[in-house]
Amino acid sequence: MRLVDCLALTDHAVIGIIGSGGKTTLMNYLAQCYQKQRVLMTTTTHILKPQPTEFDRFLMPEELTKPGLPGINVTGIATPTPIGEKLSGIDLAILQQALPNFDKVLIEADGANRKSLKAWRSGEPVLLPEMTTTIGVLPVHICGQPLTETLIHRLPLFLKYGPFVVGQPITPAVLAAVIQASTGLLAQLTPTRLLILNHVTDAQTLANAKAVVAAMEPKNRQLFDRIIAADTTTQWGEILWDSQSKTH
């Protein structure tokens, strides 16, 4: 099934993407899916600027007051860095005023320092009350790898999500704990909540994704509208949990 069909986004959608392990790839993919509409891509944190082939035009903040044009529009404050041009978020009040001018607004609202998993600190992610959907992204292909600073952004905070120790294998139960912790992924999302268990590329990673869902407490699983096994690179998805049909 196409990943975009699993998400079932509304005609006008303001989407916040948080978590780790595929956020930017997901945002670029969704922008391409809806490129015939008026799409705005931006961030409320810091991201690498999309490649020129990935968007149609770059808009300065003052240009956002005009009705959006069909195609993929990008906005942000551009800054050169050794690894390429980065974008930081524009003034939130300006962004909020611009939201009605676009059909799909895709906002990467979280940073993971290019690592596979992260812990959240106070003040992040930066979400807007106007967001119609928030999507959490977690990778499942890292199951079996050791829990170390190489993979984890803010490891000391991450260790508080469960009875974890440095070096232990990452398991589906560990990922479920990250989702359900009082300051974990679920706590950062606002309705409508979607969860993408990413980098599912074979039978083993699909089994990992299903094991994550099974390890979640039913009351927490039910807080998600949908939980999706996916691979943002191949743009494939499979719905593992749907709050309406109780598919799991």
Per the CB < 8 A criterion, the answer to whether 146 and 206 are in contact is no
* Residue ranges for the chain with pLDDT beneath 70: 246-248
The pLDDT of residue 83: 83
**β-pair partners for 16:** 107, 134
What fold is seen in the domain 3-242? Answer: Rossmann fold (3.40.50)
Residues 95/100/101/102 CA torsion (nearest 10 deg): 90
Instruction: State percent of the chain over pLDDT 90.
Output: 93
CA distances for 175 relative to 76, 124, 161, 186, 241, angstroms: 32, 19, 10, 12, 16
**β-pair partners for 193:** 134
The pLDDT of residue 61: 94
Per the CB < 8 A criterion, the answer to whether 74 and 53 are in contact is no
The pLDDT of residue 245: 81
Q: Write down the pTM of the prediction.
A: 0.95
The pLDDT of residue 197: 98
